[in-house]
Structures are given as C-alpha cells and as structure tokens.
Amino acid sequence: MKRSPMPRKSVDSLTPYTEEPHAPLNLADNTNLFEPNPCFAEALAQVQPDMARSYPSLQSERFCEAAARAHGVKPGQVATGNGSNELIDLAIRVFAEPGERVAWHPPSFSMIEVFARAAGAQVHAVPLRQPGFTLDADGLLAARAKVTFVCRPNNPTGNSFPRAEVERVVRGLDGLVVVDEAYGDFVGDSFLPLVKDLPNLLVLRTMSKAQGLAALRIGYGIAQEPVIQNLLKVRGPFRLNALSELIGTRAFERPDHVERVVRETSQERDRLTLELRTRGMAVNPSDANFILFRPPTDAARLHAALERRGVAVRKFGDPGLRAWLRATVGPRWVTQRFLAELDDALREVGPSR
Ligand SMILES: Cc1ncc(COP(=O)(O)O)c(C=O)c1O
C-alpha cells in the first residue's frame, strides 16, 4: 500500500491559514464594509465574452502603467501579485536563501512567518514592545536580516509606527526591507516617495482593503527596477487575471472613492473607539480600518457570544493577544448593530472573574 508522500520538513509542521466562520455581520477580515470602487460594476458591464479565451497580459502591463502613474514611479518599478500576500512569499523566496534570516515584528500579519518557514528561512522575531505595541527599531537593525518586514499601519494592532523609526530601519540595513502598506490608504502618508532613494525598499499595496476589491486578488509591489526584475524572475506569468487587471486599472481613475472610504472610516473609527472605551474596553489607537480592543471580560467567551449573535470578530491564538479581539470598522449602521450585539453579548458573558 503506497503512503502519501511526505512534504518538506519546513512544510510538515505548518497549518493552513484559517478564517473566522462566516457570519451575517463579518467584522473579522478588515475588508471594506462601505462600497467597492464603482469601477467594479462599470467595468463588468463592458466585459465581452470574447475576453475569456485569451490569456491576460503577461506581467499585467496595463495595470502597472496605471499604478505607476498614480504613484509617480515608472511602470518597470511595479510588480503585481495574486493579492499582496503572494508578494510577501515572493520577496522571501527571492531575497533569502534557506537558512538565512527573515525578521518580522509579531504580532503582525501571520502569513509572513508561514511563508518564511516554508521557504526554509530562519525566522527572527523582534516582538513589538508594551505598552502600545511599539516598534523595536534597534532590535530589527540588530537582526541584520536578509529580508525584514515592517507593516504600517500594523495588522492586527492598528497603530502606525513613527515614520522616522521605520526609515531608520530601511536606511540602516543592507537587506531588503518590505514595508507592507496593505492599510496605507487609511494613514495617508506612504513610504512610496522614498523608493527612489532607497534601493533596498519594497513597498507593498493591495486593492483588498480601502478599494473594496478583495474578491479580485490584486496586490502590487513598488521598488527600484532591480528588485522588481528579480521578483519577476520567480513570479509566474499572468498573475492578475484579465478581469482583475481591467478593473484594477480602472480603480486608479477613481481616487475620490478611496478618499471617501478613508474619511468615513476615520469618523466611524473615532466613534467606535469612544463607544468601546465607555464599555470598559482598552482600545489600541488605530490608523487602519479596524480596531484592536481588550474587553473587560474573557475575550474567547465574548467572541463565542458574538458569534452566536451572527457577528464575527477576530480572536487570536498568540499568547500576547489572547485577551484581545479585532473588529473591522464599517459605516454607521454596522457600528450600531455591532454595539447592540456587543452589549447583549457582554450581558450574557458578565465581567471576568
Ligand atoms: C498586513 C497585511 N498584508 C497583506 C495582506 C494580504 O492582503 P491581500 O493578499 O488580500 O492583498 C493582508 C490581509 O489581510 C494584511 O492584513
């Protein structure tokens, strides 16, 4: 009897990415709960069935041109991925040999560690400091890793590390520094203008969050040309499908959409922060479209009570975050419904003993 083949050792101990169970009110994945970029519906209305037969463009050229125009760089400085998480994987595989160091600052986007381990890299954690989940820039500098990840604003903590600290990390290292700006639209200031001066900087962006196009899986990275050329040596062709390229290219023509989502998110985030604090929660200051909060009761029980009421928020296995939950910020009606269910769930769970 034949056995199932064994994977590489570095893969055997990993577990697939999980998400919260689907719930009528999904506040667990930081997607846009406002509206998607209107170009989505406009572009779909113009799609011809003929389009289905051909491959999309090899390197998503039209998308890269639009992204370059929007961000003031050259098209050759843009690489696309099937979501920005593909570019995290790629950056590690291209710039760190197996056994070489990849540094990150947990708690952060958990896929960094998974991709690094799968690539056989040596994962070097430089934990965020308490209180306030602040960046240990000296720790990241001391690690001297081949690839270093900084997530700004950080997921899941929501805060945006001081610009000068992150810049010190990029300038002080020779290895690649990936500044993940998946939530960069919400904070306003970006590391993109520094790309022209810093040959070791790769900035990652996604259309999954403020743009409201998570279903299309559009991520892109911007760096100086040699970094992009090296990424393209390993990344497969046609990574954006034709629909994603069409709609993603159009999305840049509607900056008003992102501006509105960011403005409304910021208003609702302030309101939700206040409301949570009134209920005795600790709230980590957020520059993103989600809030990390510590309830005055058992977080796992509150999470389960919310789930029974049809509300999914994110809970964490990481020991430093077990007392915390994370919720996406949405429009006013979402905040109202969340707070109503939260109050009901808090009554059920009661204060912690
Ligand atoms: C910090 C961060 N980076 C990258 C991603 C990946 O996003 P996507 O693959 O949808 O572009 C996420 C998704 O939640 C994220 O939170």
Q: Which CATH number fits domain 9-34+256-349: 3.40.50.2300, 3.30.2420.10, 1.10.10.10, 3.90.1150.10?
A: 3.90.1150.10
> Do the domains at 9-34+256-349 and 39-254 have one common CATH topology?
no
Q: For the whole model, what pTM was predicted?
A: 0.97
Ligand 1 atom closest to the CA of 219, numbered from 1: 11
Encode pLDDT of 307-342 as tens digits.
Answer: 999 999 999 999 899 999 999 999 999 999 999 999
State phi, psi for 69 to the nearest 5 degrees.
-60, -45
Number of Cβ within 10 Å of residue 106's Cβ equals 16
Q: Whose CA is nearest to atom 12 of ligand 1?
A: 182
The per-residue pLDDT for 353 is: 62
Encode pLDDT of 188-238 as tens digits.
Answer: 899 999 999 999 999 999 999 999 999 999 999 999 999 999 999 999 999
* Closest by CA position to 96, among listed 21, 10, 163: 10
The per-residue pLDDT for 86 is: 97
Ligand 1 atom closest to the CA of 209, numbered from 1: 10
For domain 39-254, the question of CATH label 3.90.78.10 is answered with no
108 lines ligand 1 (CB under 6 A): no
289 lines ligand 1 (CB under 6 A): no
Token pair belonging to 7: 């994977």
Test site for ligand 1: of 26, 63, 84, most ligand atoms within 8 A of the Cβ: 84
Ligand 1 centroid from CA 213, angstroms: 12
Token pair belonging to 115: 């991709």
Token pair belonging to 87: 């570019």
Give the mean pLDDT of 248-263.
96
Q: What percent of the chain has pLDDT over 70?
A: 100
Encode pLDDT of 17-63 as tens digits.
Answer: 988 888 999 999 999 999 899 999 999 998 999 999 999 999 999 99
Q: Whose CA is nearest to atom 9 of ligand 1?
A: 83
Ligand 1 centroid from CA 29, angstroms: 9
Ligand 1 centroid from CA 206, angstroms: 7
10 Å CB burial of residue 278 (0-12, 13-18, 19+) is exposed
| Spans of all domains in the chain | 9-34+256-349, 39-254
Buried b (16+ CB within 10 A) or exposed e, 293-317: bbbebbbeebbebbbebebbbbbbe
Q: Looking only at Cα atoms, what is the longest distance across the chain?
A: 64
pLDDT band of residue 283 (cuts 50, 70, 90) is: very high
Question: Torsion-angle region of residue 272: left (phi > 0), alpha (psi -120 to 50) or beta?
Answer: alpha
Q: What whole-number distance in Å separates Cα of residue 88 and Cα of residue 94? A: 10
More confident of the two residues 279 and 22: 279
Encode pLDDT of 5-16 as tens digits.
Answer: 999 888 988 999
181 lines ligand 1 (CB under 6 A): no
Q: Whose CA is nearest to atom 6 of ligand 1?
A: 85
Helix (H, G, I), strand (E, B) or coil at 38: coil
